[in-house]
Amino acid sequence: MFRLNVCGGLLQSVLRNQLVSSQISPQVCNLPNLSKLISIASGPNLPTLTQSKCMSFYHGRDGTELWKAMTSVSPQGKKRGRGSRLAKPKDLNKGQLPGYGKAKISWPGLTTNSLIDKDGAKVSPNEISEIDYQEYLDKVLEKQQFAANKKMKSGIANPLERGWTGGKPGGRRYGPPKSVNSDMKFENFETILLQYKTINKMTGNLGRVRRHSLLMVTGNGNGTVGMTLSPGKYGKGRRNFTKATNKSGLNLVTVDRFEDRTVFHDFMTQFGYTRIFVRREPVGYGVRAHRAIKAICDVAGITDISASVEGNVKNTLHVTKAFLLGLLRQKTHQTLADQKQLHLVEMRPETDYFPKIIASPSDGKVRTKEEIGHNEILDFEMISYEGKVPTPKPEPYHKYRGSAGWDKHMRTRWAYNAHDRVRRRMRVEHGEQWGAVRSHMFDKYPECVEPNWKQRVADKKAKRSGGGDD
């Protein structure tokens, strides 16, 4: 196709008059008639006509040339391995189909031929039948469903299967590792991704080389846990996750648990500049700790602990290693009783500090008071923390703390400090109904109860709806 670039309105009028007088269709613009048009347009005092390639929508370049311009690599670049890391051409029309629209019209150029057929006659848009339109809708729905299913498989997880955040894979579960031996399987195992990051390395030959780093932890919820730090190739997402999941099943260890729910004693563990203070908690307390520690406790079967992390908190690898080392280094109650040759007595606040013997020496021989050294440390907290007892958290600063007015304020408020705690306990014991919070002399003075706020609010609303004044 060629196009005549005309300069000036005089040439346009001359060409139009000549075309009408010679009965040449202005729509015919193919190569045999080009010489006739140029001869008609030639004459004195007319501007020069230039030929250019038509850049219309129907006769432009396709997307292959554009993708080639974006993804091409020089021969030297291919030798250095740069071609494998470039983006691949994508189908930008995935799930789309050129259609008729709500008007149910077959538009030339999209669903039918162009405006001019083989005989040179002009084609106008025609209405389509209801059957053809329904077939078109079925094809569109099929394409959309296929694209949606493929997209879901590519990594968009169910909201209930997401990890710590919706946009990153950290915290997601990837199932049990796969065993090479068909007779041995990882039953009841679950794998959680703790860290997923991209690492760049600058090399002299290949330039900037990228790779992934995956920190996985797996366990069966019954004291068996394993951890791995696995490298992965850049861009191989699903393959890297599968590789790290299987590799985590090769580094399994067994940790001791007290009553199959918590640790045996409080301990301090450290790796690098990360320090973790772990405390044993009663039944139903839950796990209150760093999210990496929560994931490890989930796969290991630990349900009641609290842990505080100090130092380098953001290094997930150090937090994971420190906590696993602390679990492996803890001592059972029987081991402590055999080492000290003494009874191990437990006194906890939730049991009103009632003494309870939980371990005794295996051989039955218990040292007497005379056999215990005068400088021997028998404090269980000092023994469990290995002399590194955590520093208590300082009280928040107040400008009046330590003054005479502050001491008077504390003396006058001591009777009211526990009111919130007592109200909460009463609601737990008696329920949420009115009368749950009452005085200890309620039997003698029934009026000593909290106000019935629900009834008061209902009476006030009824009064306002009736038109009365407040």
Q: pLDDT band at residue 77, thresholds of 50, 70 and 90? A: confident
Q: What pLDDT, on a 0 to 100 scale, did the predictor assign at position 115?
A: 56
Q: What pLDDT, on a 0 to 100 scale, did the predictor assign at position 291?
A: 95
Same domain (yes/no): 434, 451: yes
CATH value at residue 314: 3.30.230.10
Render the burial of 91-116: b for 16+ CB within 10 Å, e for the rest. eeeeeeeebbeeeeebebeebeeeee
CB atoms within 10 A of CB 147: 14
Q: Of 254, 279, 295, which closes a domain?
A: 254
Is 391 within the bounds of a domain?
Answer: no
Same domain (yes/no): 414, 469: yes
Tens digits of residue pLDDT in 346-375: 888 878 889 999 999 999 899 998 888 888
Taking the C-alpha atoms of residue 244 and residue 174, their distance in angstroms, rounded to an integer, is: 10
CATH value at residue 181: 3.30.160.20
- Segment 451-461 shows an average pLDDT of 89
Taking the C-alpha atoms of residue 345 and residue 354, their distance in angstroms, rounded to an integer, is: 10
How many domains is the chain partitioned into structurally?
5
Q: pLDDT band at residue 252, thresholds of 50, 70 and 90? A: very high
Same domain (yes/no): 339, 412: no
Is 44 within the bounds of a domain?
Answer: yes
Is 442 within the bounds of a domain?
Answer: yes
Which three-class secondary structure state does DSSP give residue 131?
helix
Is 316 within the bounds of a domain?
Answer: yes
- In this structure, the dihedral spanned by the alpha carbons of residues 286, 287, 288 and 294, taken in order and rounded to 10 degrees, is -150
> Nearest to residue 195, comparing CAs of 162, 159, 231, 171?
171
> Nearest to residue 299, comparing CAs of 243, 224, 229, 245?
224
Burial class (CB in 10 A: 0-12, 13-18, 19+), 24: middle
> Nearest to residue 248, comparing CAs of 233, 263, 226, 232?
226
Q: What pLDDT, on a 0 to 100 scale, did the predictor assign at position 1?
A: 40
| Domain extent at residue 287 | 267-384
Same domain (yes/no): 196, 117: no
Is 378 within the bounds of a domain?
Answer: yes
Is 214 within the bounds of a domain?
Answer: yes
Q: Of 222, 254, 286, which closes a domain?
A: 254
Q: What pLDDT, on a 0 to 100 scale, did the predictor assign at position 41?
A: 45
Burial class (CB in 10 A: 0-12, 13-18, 19+), 235: middle
Cβ atoms of 100 and 128 closer than 8 Å: yes
Same domain (yes/no): 176, 138: no
Q: What pLDDT, on a 0 to 100 scale, did the predictor assign at position 106?
A: 66
Is 68 within the bounds of a domain?
Answer: no
Is 79 within the bounds of a domain?
Answer: no
Same domain (yes/no): 183, 245: yes
Q: pLDDT band at residue 150, thresholds of 50, 70 and 90? A: low
Same domain (yes/no): 250, 292: no
Same domain (yes/no): 365, 408: no
> Nearest to residue 147, comparing CAs of 67, 88, 92?
92
What are the angstrom distances between the C-alpha of 308 and each of 8, 221, 419? 83, 22, 29
- Segment 96-112 shows an average pLDDT of 64
Q: Of 254, 280, 312, which closes a domain?
A: 254
Taking the C-alpha atoms of residue 34 and residue 4, their distance in angstroms, rounded to an integer, is: 10
Same domain (yes/no): 48, 126: no
Q: What are 108's strand-pairing partners?
A: 112
How far apart, in Å, do the first and last CA atoms of the chain sit?
86
Same domain (yes/no): 276, 374: yes
Burial class (CB in 10 A: 0-12, 13-18, 19+), 5: exposed
Same domain (yes/no): 282, 305: yes
Cβ atoms of 312 and 318 closer than 8 Å: yes
Same domain (yes/no): 242, 280: no
Taking the C-alpha atoms of residue 221 and residue 296, their distance in angstroms, rounded to an integer, is: 10
